[in-house]
Structure 1
Amino acid sequence: MLTIKQITENTDAVIRGLEKKHFKNAKETIDQVIAFNDKRRSTQSVLDNNLSEVNSISKSIGQLMKEGKKEEAETAKSRVAELKETNKTLQAEMDQATEDMQNLLYTIPNVPYDEVPEGVGAEDNVVEKMGGMETELPKDALPHWELTKKYDLIDFDLGVKITGAGFPVYKGKGAQLQRALINFFLDEARKAGYLEIMPPTVVNAASGYGTGQLPDKEGQMYHCEVDDLYLIPTAEVPVTNIYRDVILEEKQLPIKNCAYTQCFRREAGSYGKDVRGLNRLHEFSKVELVRIDKPEHSKQSHKEMLDHVEGLLQKLELPYRILRLCGGDMSFTAALCFDFEVYSEAQKRWLEVSSVSNFDTYQANRLKCRYRSGEKKTELCHTLNGSALALPRIVAALLENNQTPEGIRIPKALVPYTGFEMID
């Protein structure tokens, strides 16, 4: 959530940033926030003056009674009663203006950094880097949904029977490969200094608001209505909310957490060849990185996270590219985001496997996540997160790009985790 200070001190820059994200009616919305804030402040000022007058008059009443000035004392009491009634109205007006402002702020996305390119959608993203190994496949190369059937790795039809479309059942070496990737990603994160967390996979509404999934993405989240709980779309939500309403000491930063969880996304309206097989699921496994940092160090943290994810893809021997997302393709909460995509040789298309984002103070302001500097002053932290990595499309690319006439080759880095070198 944007801070009032950010909005009032940099109004034009905020509006330009929101327009870069193609947020409709940016100026009108920001003007409304400022109007609510002005109303809140002016009402607070009148209320403070009235409360001061009430205190002053109340103190004088006793002295007037002692001096026998009963009529003046009664007049003073009437004035106090009148001010108290006025104050009730003022307090209600101030509370309403505060609530209206807060609700409006929840609907406003984060402002992108200056280095975010202009653009409307994915076609305007900027390719920052390409890497990995070139792939040569047999002439009769198969897409992963055929390979999983051929080698009995994943049963999509059985998932439909048990739950519905988008909930696959992993079997045999398919399940082993899934578990191997999870352990590989977690081990690599621990080696890089991340503390592993095993959080719940359902959260309350406050957690959803804290990281910005609510009210923006409630339609994409599975909601347990009886208990008013949400299945998590990513471990970002429970892990970042560990630090909700927390004041950290400067020496604790940066905090580096990682977590493996199942993730749940409704993906309403998803259909067609681009979501076939593992390309888009309602339930999937993912290892997430979360960082809490000081503002002056968050860009360095972001770079370290990008280097970490790139290192994973290099160890998995996958062709990849890194994209700097344009304003129109960024998430609601991000100030700067890079996507990692791996190339599927069999599908002849790029598959997104990670987004690594810096949220500046946007999430921290919602979370009330602060740190205490050496001067005992508290400041908002910066939050960052990134997938390291999401499994479905990694599995798809591994199966497709490593198929040979003898079977599917396992990258060397994964062999100690799978216990086998080939799927045949």
Structure 2
Amino acid sequence: MSDSEQETRGAVEAVWRIEAARVVAGIARVVRDVGLAEELAQDALVAALEQWPRDGVPERPGAWLTAVGKRRAVDLIRRDQTYARKLEEVGRAAAGEDSEAELDAVLEKIDDDIQDDLLRLVFTACHPVLSTEARVALTLRMLGGLRTEEIARAFLVPEATVAQRIVRAKKNLAKAHVPFEVPRGEERAERLPSVLEVIYLVFNEGYSATAGDDWMRPALCEDALRLARVLQGLMPEEPEVHGLAALLEIQASRQPARTGPDGEPVLLMDQNRSRWDHLLIRRGFTALARAETAHPGPYALQAAIAACHASAPDAADTDWHRIALLYGQLARIAPSPVVELNRAVAVARADSPRKGLEIVDALVDEPALRDYHLLPSVRGDLLERLGRRAEARAEFERAAALTRNEKERALLLDRAAANA
């Protein structure tokens, strides 16, 4: 392969990563089937890999991919008689009187409908009929433009597992007759948390990897941030969408300071705050302002907590009293053992380690936290601050045994050793 061909191939892959969601969404509007739309979009990608090295990258590469995919969709409908009724329904929008000239005219207006198409795709890929793992995989594939092997590598699972999740997700959507549409009214309010959860889970896996040798996987954080920003543009009237975006922007701002020279974790209170990305912090504060309502949701409250840390020039200046109050609000509207554990940390800083330990001790028998390594980790920290070093060491050792992340295990074992 010549240097020119390699350069063009790289351009194709870059365009695909950026435009994949729009291409799939545009085709799905014609065929009303996200699985089929994704296959046709892949066909368009293959066509680009064949033609662009020879003819050059078109001026509007995303529109070119969508046009090819839609033409193939129309050809497929024409060939398959079982789609006759569907062709009649979408014929005018997709092919105008069966005229190629009119089809081209329609395709020139792709951008006019792209917002609605993307929103349909978001709600379809994140439909609650799918398992959490399936929603994450399908969203990264269709909206993030990631290849199956990239998703597998990011989550440290076999490629075949991810491929099966995606195939089953498409089949389940078809079997459940999930319409390719944006839900309205109460149904939209009920389904939005499913969408936000997927983006949040993707970010969290990148921010603190659950397993493997790396403390963080920045590419996943970037994918989640991009999806959150897209959703902001698609749903500007939804406060919790801005709340999620604010949370991710502010959390992502800390990434440069979260690891040391050898990739070892650096905890929040020990981070060099001059290394935080202040552009991301400003973006987060702007999004948080758009999320403000009389009754903030869970993501807006978490973003407000993150903003307290971002506002403090030094760890010692952190407003832990406000953070404890915000966690109290969060516990009321979205109660969970993990929220209580985080509230314990805030109370320990705002009041005393003893007060925090009382909250943590009440969580020890929680089934949801039985294998959660941060429970003994937090308990060890509080015991250490109270001077109960032998107990702290045992808690850090227990936390190290529970975590599947090698960098975090090393950090916890170091803390255990420090309490010998």
TM-score calculated relative to the size of structure 1: 0.27
TM-score calculated relative to the size of structure 2: 0.28
**Structure with the higher fraction of residues in strand conformation:** 1
